[in-house]
Protein backbone atom coordinates (compact mmCIF):
# COMPACT_ATOMS: atom_id res chain seq x y z
CA UNK A 1 0.00 0.00 0.00
CA UNK A 2 1.28 3.47 -0.90
CA UNK A 3 1.31 5.95 1.96
CA UNK A 4 0.25 8.99 -0.02
CA UNK A 5 0.53 11.50 2.81
CA UNK A 6 4.28 11.17 2.75
CA UNK A 7 4.29 12.85 -0.69
CA UNK A 8 2.24 15.94 0.15
CA UNK A 9 3.71 19.44 0.24
CA UNK A 10 3.46 21.22 3.55
CA UNK A 11 0.84 23.57 2.06
CA UNK A 12 -1.28 20.68 0.76
CA UNK A 13 -1.02 19.15 4.22
CA UNK A 14 -2.26 22.32 5.88
CA UNK A 15 -5.25 23.06 3.61
CA UNK A 16 -8.82 22.33 4.63
CA UNK A 17 -11.83 22.03 2.32
CA UNK A 18 -14.00 25.15 2.10
CA UNK A 19 -17.00 24.86 4.41
CA UNK A 20 -19.14 26.34 1.67
CA UNK A 21 -18.11 23.81 -0.96
CA UNK A 22 -18.73 20.99 1.57
CA UNK A 23 -22.13 22.40 2.45
CA UNK A 24 -23.05 22.69 -1.21
CA UNK A 25 -22.45 18.96 -1.61
CA UNK A 26 -24.60 18.18 1.39
CA UNK A 27 -27.44 20.43 0.38
CA UNK A 28 -27.47 19.37 -3.26
CA UNK A 29 -28.40 15.85 -2.25
CA UNK A 30 -31.23 16.53 0.16
CA UNK A 31 -34.51 18.35 0.54
CA UNK A 32 -32.92 20.95 2.78
CA UNK A 33 -33.79 24.62 2.24
CA UNK A 34 -30.38 26.10 1.54
CA UNK A 35 -29.55 29.55 2.77
CA UNK A 36 -25.92 28.41 2.57
CA UNK A 37 -24.09 28.58 -0.78
CA UNK A 38 -23.89 31.87 -2.66
CA UNK A 39 -25.57 30.67 -5.82
CA UNK A 40 -27.32 33.01 -8.23
CA UNK A 41 -31.00 32.36 -8.86
CA UNK A 42 -31.09 30.20 -12.03
CA UNK A 43 -34.06 32.32 -13.22
CA UNK A 44 -31.52 35.06 -13.82
CA UNK A 45 -29.60 33.11 -16.45
CA UNK A 46 -30.60 34.47 -19.89
CA UNK A 47 -30.83 30.97 -21.33
CA UNK A 48 -32.47 31.68 -24.68
CA UNK A 49 -30.13 34.56 -25.48
CA UNK A 50 -27.08 32.58 -24.38
CA UNK A 51 -28.12 29.62 -26.50
CA UNK A 52 -28.46 31.88 -29.58
CA UNK A 53 -25.18 33.61 -28.87
CA UNK A 54 -23.31 30.35 -28.26
CA UNK A 55 -24.53 28.93 -31.57
CA UNK A 56 -23.68 32.06 -33.53
CA UNK A 57 -20.31 32.47 -31.86
CA UNK A 58 -19.35 28.91 -32.75
CA UNK A 59 -20.59 29.24 -36.32
CA UNK A 60 -19.37 32.80 -37.00
CA UNK A 61 -16.24 33.09 -34.86
CA UNK A 62 -15.46 29.38 -34.47
CA UNK A 63 -12.01 29.72 -35.93
CA UNK A 64 -11.04 31.85 -32.96
CA UNK A 65 -13.63 30.93 -30.37
CA UNK A 66 -12.63 27.26 -30.49
CA UNK A 67 -8.90 27.97 -30.79
CA UNK A 68 -6.12 28.59 -28.24
CA UNK A 69 -5.93 32.24 -27.26
CA UNK A 70 -3.45 34.66 -25.65
CA UNK A 71 -2.92 34.31 -21.88
CA UNK A 72 -4.14 37.88 -21.35
CA UNK A 73 -7.46 37.03 -23.00
CA UNK A 74 -9.18 37.41 -26.35
CA UNK A 75 -8.89 41.04 -27.51
CA UNK A 76 -12.56 41.07 -28.61
CA UNK A 77 -13.45 40.25 -24.99
CA UNK A 78 -10.94 42.60 -23.35
CA UNK A 79 -12.23 45.52 -25.42
CA UNK A 80 -15.85 44.68 -24.61
CA UNK A 81 -15.05 44.47 -20.87
CA UNK A 82 -13.24 47.79 -20.92
CA UNK A 83 -16.24 49.44 -22.57
CA UNK A 84 -18.66 47.73 -20.14
CA UNK A 85 -16.65 48.73 -17.06
CA UNK A 86 -16.34 52.36 -18.14
CA UNK A 87 -20.03 52.56 -19.02
CA UNK A 88 -20.83 51.26 -15.53
CA UNK A 89 -18.76 53.95 -13.86
CA UNK A 90 -15.47 52.16 -13.24
CA UNK A 91 -12.44 54.27 -14.02
CA UNK A 92 -10.22 52.38 -16.46
CA UNK A 93 -7.40 54.56 -17.80
CA UNK A 94 -4.86 54.14 -20.59
CA UNK A 95 -2.36 53.05 -17.93
CA UNK A 96 -4.61 50.16 -16.93
CA UNK A 97 -4.50 46.70 -18.42
CA UNK A 98 -7.08 43.91 -18.23
CA UNK A 99 -6.70 40.16 -17.97
CA UNK A 100 -9.41 37.52 -18.46
CA UNK A 101 -9.46 34.97 -15.64
CA UNK A 102 -11.30 31.75 -14.82
CA UNK A 103 -13.76 33.51 -12.52
CA UNK A 104 -12.50 36.20 -10.21
CA UNK A 105 -11.54 33.30 -7.95
CA UNK A 106 -8.57 32.77 -10.25
CA UNK A 107 -7.61 36.45 -10.02
CA UNK A 108 -7.39 35.99 -6.26
CA UNK A 109 -5.07 33.03 -6.61
CA UNK A 110 -2.95 34.81 -9.25
CA UNK A 111 -2.66 37.90 -7.07
CA UNK A 112 -1.70 35.75 -4.11
CA UNK A 113 0.94 33.89 -6.06
CA UNK A 114 2.30 37.03 -7.75
CA UNK A 115 2.52 39.13 -4.60
CA UNK A 116 2.77 36.92 -1.53
CA UNK A 117 5.61 34.91 -0.10
CA UNK A 118 4.94 32.31 2.55
CA UNK A 119 4.39 34.10 5.85
CA UNK A 120 3.30 37.39 4.27
CA UNK A 121 0.28 39.06 5.81
CA UNK A 122 -2.99 39.94 4.07
CA UNK A 123 -5.05 42.65 5.72
CA UNK A 124 -8.76 42.10 5.25
CA UNK A 125 -12.22 42.34 6.78
CA UNK A 126 -13.31 40.05 9.57
CA UNK A 127 -15.41 38.27 8.36
CA UNK A 128 -13.75 37.83 4.96
CA UNK A 129 -14.67 36.15 1.67
CA UNK A 130 -13.81 32.51 2.23
CA UNK A 131 -12.60 31.87 -1.32
CA UNK A 132 -10.02 34.65 -0.96
CA UNK A 133 -8.87 33.36 2.40
CA UNK A 134 -8.50 29.91 0.85
CA UNK A 135 -6.58 31.26 -2.14
CA UNK A 136 -4.16 33.30 -0.03
CA UNK A 137 -3.77 30.50 2.52
CA UNK A 138 -2.84 28.11 -0.27
CA UNK A 139 0.19 30.35 -0.81
CA UNK A 140 1.04 30.33 2.89
CA UNK A 141 -0.30 33.78 3.81
CA UNK A 142 -1.28 34.90 7.28
CA UNK A 143 -4.06 37.36 8.03
CA UNK A 144 -4.44 40.57 9.98
CA UNK A 145 -8.16 41.15 10.26
CA UNK A 146 -10.19 44.30 10.70
CA UNK A 147 -13.62 44.19 12.34
CA UNK A 148 -16.73 45.37 10.51
CA UNK A 149 -19.96 47.06 11.52
CA UNK A 150 -23.09 47.58 9.43
CA UNK A 151 -21.00 49.89 7.18
CA UNK A 152 -18.32 47.32 6.43
CA UNK A 153 -14.64 47.53 7.35
CA UNK A 154 -14.07 49.90 10.27
CA UNK A 155 -11.24 51.98 8.90
CA UNK A 156 -10.39 53.46 12.31
CA UNK A 157 -9.61 49.86 13.29
CA UNK A 158 -7.69 49.38 10.03
CA UNK A 159 -5.55 52.33 11.10
CA UNK A 160 -4.88 50.60 14.43
CA UNK A 161 -4.13 47.24 12.79
CA UNK A 162 -1.59 48.82 10.44
CA UNK A 163 0.00 50.88 13.22
CA UNK A 164 0.33 47.70 15.32
CA UNK A 165 1.91 45.80 12.45
CA UNK A 166 4.38 48.64 12.02
CA UNK A 167 5.17 48.70 15.73
CA UNK A 168 5.77 44.95 15.70
CA UNK A 169 8.09 45.25 12.71
CA UNK A 170 5.69 43.28 10.50
CA UNK A 171 4.52 45.96 8.09
CA UNK A 172 7.05 44.86 5.46
CA UNK A 173 5.19 41.56 5.32
CA UNK A 174 2.00 43.31 4.20
CA UNK A 175 1.61 43.72 0.44
CA UNK A 176 -2.05 44.59 0.07
CA UNK A 177 -5.39 45.22 1.71
CA UNK A 178 -8.03 42.88 0.31
CA UNK A 179 -11.57 44.24 0.50
CA UNK A 180 -15.06 43.53 -0.77
CA UNK A 181 -16.23 47.09 -0.17
CA UNK A 182 -19.55 46.81 -2.03
CA UNK A 183 -22.18 44.25 -1.00
CA UNK A 184 -19.72 42.25 1.03
CA UNK A 185 -19.57 38.47 1.00
CA UNK A 186 -20.37 37.27 3.66
CA UNK A 187 -21.51 40.39 5.54
CA UNK A 188 -23.80 42.12 3.02
CA UNK A 189 -22.32 45.49 4.01
CA UNK A 190 -21.32 48.40 1.75
CA UNK A 191 -18.57 50.82 2.79
CA UNK A 192 -19.53 54.47 2.47
CA UNK A 193 -17.23 56.79 0.54
CA UNK A 194 -15.59 58.38 3.59
CA UNK A 195 -14.32 54.95 4.66
CA UNK A 196 -13.14 54.15 1.12
CA UNK A 197 -11.19 57.39 1.13
CA UNK A 198 -9.73 56.60 4.54
CA UNK A 199 -8.70 53.11 3.38
CA UNK A 200 -6.96 54.61 0.35
CA UNK A 201 -5.16 57.19 2.53
CA UNK A 202 -3.89 54.41 4.78
CA UNK A 203 -2.73 52.41 1.75
CA UNK A 204 -0.86 55.54 0.60
CA UNK A 205 0.63 56.12 4.04
CA UNK A 206 1.95 52.56 4.32
CA UNK A 207 2.61 52.14 0.59
CA UNK A 208 0.32 49.13 0.15
CA UNK A 209 -1.66 47.86 -2.80
CA UNK A 210 -5.43 47.46 -2.60
CA UNK A 211 -7.29 44.47 -4.01
CA UNK A 212 -10.87 45.61 -4.62
CA UNK A 213 -13.00 42.52 -5.24
CA UNK A 214 -16.24 43.81 -6.73
CA UNK A 215 -18.53 41.16 -8.25
CA UNK A 216 -21.76 42.57 -6.82
CA UNK A 217 -21.64 46.26 -7.88
CA UNK A 218 -23.64 45.66 -11.05
CA UNK A 219 -26.53 44.08 -9.18
CA UNK A 220 -26.94 46.69 -6.42
CA UNK A 221 -30.68 47.10 -6.09
CA UNK A 222 -30.65 50.19 -3.87
CA UNK A 223 -28.81 53.47 -4.33
CA UNK A 224 -25.77 53.73 -2.09
CA UNK A 225 -22.71 55.83 -1.67
CA UNK A 226 -20.20 53.31 -3.12
CA UNK A 227 -17.70 54.85 -5.52
CA UNK A 228 -15.19 52.21 -6.62
CA UNK A 229 -11.97 52.65 -4.64
CA UNK A 230 -10.20 52.38 -7.96
CA UNK A 231 -11.91 55.60 -9.11
CA UNK A 232 -10.51 57.70 -6.27
CA UNK A 233 -7.04 56.17 -6.48
CA UNK A 234 -4.78 58.47 -8.51
CA UNK A 235 -1.57 56.62 -7.80
CA UNK A 236 -2.37 53.25 -9.41
CA UNK A 237 -2.32 51.06 -6.30
CA UNK A 238 -5.70 49.36 -6.82
CA UNK A 239 -6.20 46.02 -8.54
CA UNK A 240 -9.90 45.83 -9.37
CA UNK A 241 -11.60 42.45 -9.84
CA UNK A 242 -14.98 41.53 -11.18
CA UNK A 243 -16.81 38.66 -12.77
CA UNK A 244 -19.59 37.48 -15.06
CA UNK A 245 -20.78 35.00 -12.43
CA UNK A 246 -23.43 37.24 -10.92
CA UNK A 247 -24.50 39.14 -14.03
CA UNK A 248 -24.56 36.34 -16.61
CA UNK A 249 -23.79 32.82 -15.36
CA UNK A 250 -21.16 31.39 -12.99
CA UNK A 251 -20.86 28.26 -15.13
CA UNK A 252 -19.06 30.35 -17.76
CA UNK A 253 -16.25 30.68 -15.15
CA UNK A 254 -15.26 34.07 -16.44
CA UNK A 255 -13.83 37.01 -14.55
CA UNK A 256 -11.49 39.91 -15.13
CA UNK A 257 -8.88 41.92 -13.33
CA UNK A 258 -7.92 45.48 -14.21
CA UNK A 259 -4.94 47.35 -12.86
CA UNK A 260 -1.53 48.79 -13.62
CA UNK A 261 0.28 47.03 -16.48
CA UNK A 262 3.24 45.84 -14.35
CA UNK A 263 0.89 44.00 -11.98
CA UNK A 264 -1.37 42.57 -14.70
CA UNK A 265 1.80 41.44 -16.50
CA UNK A 266 2.80 39.46 -13.40
CA UNK A 267 -0.67 37.90 -13.16
CA UNK A 268 -0.30 36.83 -16.78
CA UNK A 269 3.03 35.17 -15.99
CA UNK A 270 1.57 33.35 -13.01
CA UNK A 271 -1.39 32.20 -15.11
CA UNK A 272 0.58 30.68 -17.97
CA UNK A 273 1.72 27.54 -16.13
CA UNK A 274 -1.77 27.01 -14.68
CA UNK A 275 -3.95 26.92 -17.77
CA UNK A 276 -2.24 28.79 -20.66
CA UNK A 277 -5.33 30.98 -20.98
CA UNK A 278 -8.95 31.39 -19.94
CA UNK A 279 -11.23 29.33 -22.23
CA UNK A 280 -11.89 31.23 -25.44
CA UNK A 281 -15.53 30.27 -25.94
CA UNK A 282 -16.91 31.91 -22.77
CA UNK A 283 -14.93 35.04 -23.59
CA UNK A 284 -16.60 35.28 -27.01
CA UNK A 285 -20.01 34.53 -25.52
CA UNK A 286 -19.65 37.20 -22.81
CA UNK A 287 -18.31 39.76 -25.29
CA UNK A 288 -21.34 39.17 -27.52
CA UNK A 289 -23.67 39.36 -24.51
CA UNK A 290 -22.19 42.78 -23.73
CA UNK A 291 -22.27 44.01 -27.31
CA UNK A 292 -25.85 42.89 -27.94
CA UNK A 293 -27.05 44.55 -24.73
CA UNK A 294 -28.13 41.21 -23.23
CA UNK A 295 -26.42 41.94 -19.91
CA UNK A 296 -27.70 45.49 -19.66
CA UNK A 297 -31.23 44.37 -20.48
CA UNK A 298 -31.04 41.67 -17.82
CA UNK A 299 -29.54 43.64 -14.95
CA UNK A 300 -32.82 45.35 -13.95
CA UNK A 301 -34.52 41.95 -13.81
CA UNK A 302 -31.78 40.44 -11.63
CA UNK A 303 -31.97 43.44 -9.31
CA UNK A 304 -35.76 43.21 -9.04
CA UNK A 305 -35.63 39.49 -8.21
CA UNK A 306 -32.92 39.94 -5.56
CA UNK A 307 -34.57 42.99 -4.03
CA UNK A 308 -37.79 41.06 -3.57
CA UNK A 309 -35.86 38.19 -1.99
CA UNK A 310 -33.84 40.50 0.24
CA UNK A 311 -37.10 42.08 1.43
CA UNK A 312 -38.64 38.67 2.08
CA UNK A 313 -35.62 37.62 4.14
CA UNK A 314 -35.52 40.83 6.17
CA UNK A 315 -39.27 40.70 6.79
CA UNK A 316 -39.09 37.08 7.90
CA UNK A 317 -36.16 37.83 10.23
CA UNK A 318 -38.12 40.72 11.71
CA UNK A 319 -41.14 38.50 12.17
CA UNK A 320 -39.54 35.34 13.55
CA UNK A 321 -36.26 36.21 15.29
CA UNK A 322 -36.43 37.09 18.98
CA UNK A 323 -34.97 40.22 20.63
CA UNK A 324 -31.19 40.40 20.80
CA UNK A 325 -30.53 39.01 17.32
CA UNK A 326 -29.11 41.61 14.88
CA UNK A 327 -28.51 41.50 11.15
CA UNK A 328 -27.28 43.63 8.25
CA UNK A 329 -29.51 45.25 5.62
CA UNK A 330 -27.76 44.77 2.27
CA UNK A 331 -28.29 47.19 -0.62
CA UNK A 332 -27.29 44.49 -3.09
CA UNK A 333 -25.41 41.25 -3.42
CA UNK A 334 -26.64 37.99 -2.01
CA UNK A 335 -26.06 37.82 1.73
CA UNK A 336 -27.38 38.89 5.13
CA UNK A 337 -25.06 38.58 8.12
CA UNK A 338 -26.44 37.76 11.55
CA UNK A 339 -25.03 38.51 14.97
CA UNK A 340 -26.62 36.29 17.61
CA UNK A 341 -26.06 37.22 21.26
CA UNK A 342 -22.67 36.37 22.82
CA UNK A 343 -22.54 32.74 23.92
CA UNK A 344 -24.55 31.42 20.98
CA UNK A 345 -22.65 28.84 18.95
CA UNK A 346 -23.82 28.74 15.34
CA UNK A 347 -22.12 25.37 14.69
CA UNK A 348 -24.54 23.95 17.32
CA UNK A 349 -27.35 25.94 15.76
CA UNK A 350 -26.39 24.54 12.36
CA UNK A 351 -26.92 20.96 13.58
CA UNK A 352 -30.32 21.83 15.01
CA UNK A 353 -31.27 23.74 11.85
CA UNK A 354 -30.31 20.78 9.70
CA UNK A 355 -32.71 18.57 11.69
CA UNK A 356 -35.35 21.07 10.60
CA UNK A 357 -34.10 20.89 7.02
CA UNK A 358 -32.60 24.34 6.69
CA UNK A 359 -28.91 25.18 6.13
CA UNK A 360 -26.81 28.32 6.47
CA UNK A 361 -23.08 28.95 6.84
CA UNK A 362 -21.81 29.25 10.43
CA UNK A 363 -19.99 32.59 10.54
CA UNK A 364 -16.74 31.33 12.05
CA UNK A 365 -15.94 29.86 8.61
CA UNK A 366 -15.20 33.44 7.51
CA UNK A 367 -12.85 34.35 10.37
CA UNK A 368 -9.34 33.45 9.23
CA UNK A 369 -7.93 33.85 12.73
CA UNK A 370 -10.81 32.25 14.65
CA UNK A 371 -13.76 33.84 16.40
CA UNK A 372 -17.24 34.68 15.13
CA UNK A 373 -18.90 31.70 16.83
CA UNK A 374 -22.11 33.68 17.34
CA UNK A 375 -22.44 34.79 13.71
CA UNK A 376 -24.00 33.34 10.57
CA UNK A 377 -24.28 34.02 6.85
CA UNK A 378 -27.63 33.71 5.12
CA UNK A 379 -27.96 33.64 1.34
CA UNK A 380 -31.11 35.11 -0.17
CA UNK A 381 -30.38 34.90 -3.91
CA UNK A 382 -30.85 31.17 -4.43
CA UNK A 383 -33.92 29.91 -2.53
CA UNK A 384 -37.36 30.47 -4.03
CA UNK A 385 -39.36 33.18 -2.19
CA UNK A 386 -41.67 30.84 -0.28
CA UNK A 387 -38.74 28.63 0.78
CA UNK A 388 -36.85 31.67 1.97
CA UNK A 389 -39.57 32.63 4.38
CA UNK A 390 -40.04 29.08 5.55
CA UNK A 391 -36.26 28.70 5.97
CA UNK A 392 -36.03 31.70 8.30
CA UNK A 393 -39.03 30.45 10.26
CA UNK A 394 -37.34 27.08 10.81
CA UNK A 395 -34.02 28.71 11.67
CA UNK A 396 -35.70 30.90 14.29
CA UNK A 397 -37.43 27.81 15.72
CA UNK A 398 -34.10 25.99 15.93
CA UNK A 399 -32.56 29.02 17.65
CA UNK A 400 -35.39 29.32 20.17
CA UNK A 401 -35.27 25.61 20.96
CA UNK A 402 -31.56 25.84 21.77
CA UNK A 403 -31.33 29.25 23.35
CA UNK A 404 -34.89 30.21 24.35
CA UNK A 405 -36.62 33.38 23.18
N1 LIG B 1 -15.16 37.23 -4.80
C2 LIG B 1 -16.29 37.28 -4.10
C3 LIG B 1 -16.45 38.37 -3.09
C4 LIG B 1 -17.29 36.34 -4.30
O5 LIG B 1 -18.40 36.39 -3.57
C6 LIG B 1 -17.11 35.32 -5.26
C7 LIG B 1 -18.15 34.24 -5.52
N8 LIG B 1 -18.85 33.78 -4.47
C9 LIG B 1 -15.90 35.30 -5.96
C10 LIG B 1 -14.95 36.28 -5.72
C11 LIG B 1 -15.58 34.26 -6.99
O12 LIG B 1 -16.48 34.28 -8.01
P13 LIG B 1 -16.21 33.74 -9.47
O14 LIG B 1 -14.94 32.98 -9.45
O15 LIG B 1 -17.38 32.92 -9.80
O16 LIG B 1 -16.10 34.97 -10.32
O1 LIG C 1 -18.03 28.17 -4.02
C2 LIG C 1 -18.99 28.53 -4.73
O3 LIG C 1 -19.72 27.72 -5.33
C4 LIG C 1 -19.28 29.97 -4.93
C5 LIG C 1 -19.98 30.49 -3.76
C6 LIG C 1 -19.37 31.28 -2.93
C7 LIG C 1 -20.01 31.63 -1.65
O8 LIG C 1 -21.00 30.99 -1.24
O9 LIG C 1 -19.51 32.56 -1.01
- 126 is in which domain, residue-wise? 63-294
What's the CA-to-centroid distance between 108 and ligand 2, angstroms?
Answer: 14
- 23 has pLDDT over 80: no
Residue 17 banded pLDDT, cuts 50, 70, 90: confident
Mean pLDDT of 203-226: 97
Residue range 111-121: average pLDDT?
97
The lowest-confidence range among 29-43, 274-288, 388-402 is 29-43
Q: Give the N- to C-terminal CA distance of the chain in Å, as an integer.
A: 55
Which of 234, 260, 294 is the last residue in one of the domains? 294
* pLDDT at residue 61 in the model: 94
The predicted model gives 160-187 an average pLDDT of 98
Residue nearest to atom 9 of ligand 2 (CA): 38
In a domain, 376, yes or no: yes
Domain co-membership, 86 together with 187:
yes
Beta carbon of 180 within 6 Å of any ligand 1 atom: yes
Q: Is residue 54 in some structural domain?
A: no
284 plus 398 within the same structural domain: no
pLDDT tens, position by position, 120-170: 999 999 999 999 999 999 999 999 999 999 999 999 999 999 999 999 999
CATH number for position 159: 3.40.640.10
Integer angstrom CA distances of residue 331 from 182, 228, 229, 397 = 9, 15, 18, 27
Predicted confidence (pLDDT) per residue in 63-105, tens digit: 999 999 999 999 999 999 999 999 999 999 999 999 999 999 9
Task: Say how many Å lie between the CA of residue 33 and the centre of ligand 1.
Answer: 22
> What pLDDT, on the 0 to 100 scale, is given for residue 199?
98
Ligand 1, from 38, 41, 105: best to mutate by most atoms within 8 Å of Cβ? 105
Residue 55 lies in a domain: no
Clarify whether residues 115 and 153 are in a common domain.
yes
Is 100 found in the same domain as 67?
yes
pTM: 0.96
Q: What is the pLDDT of residue 121?
A: 98
Statement to judge: residues 289 and 301 lie in one domain:
no
What is the CATH number for 325?
3.90.1150.10
Count of domains observed in the chain = 2
Average pLDDT over the chain, rounded to whole? 96
Is 328 part of a structural domain of the chain?
A: yes
Residue 266 has pLDDT above 90, yes or no: yes
Last-in-domain residue among 247, 264, 294:
294
Amino acid sequence: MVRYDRFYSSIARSLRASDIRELLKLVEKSNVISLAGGLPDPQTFPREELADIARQVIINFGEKALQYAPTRGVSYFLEAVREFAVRHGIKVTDDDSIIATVGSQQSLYLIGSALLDKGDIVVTEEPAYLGAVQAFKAIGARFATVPIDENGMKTDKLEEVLANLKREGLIEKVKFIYTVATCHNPAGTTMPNDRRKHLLELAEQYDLLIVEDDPYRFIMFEEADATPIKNIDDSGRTIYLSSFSKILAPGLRLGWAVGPEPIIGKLELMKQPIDLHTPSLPQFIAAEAIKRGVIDRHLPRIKAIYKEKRDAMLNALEEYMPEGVKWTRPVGGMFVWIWFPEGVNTRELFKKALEKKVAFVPGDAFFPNGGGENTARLNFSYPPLDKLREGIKRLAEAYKELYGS
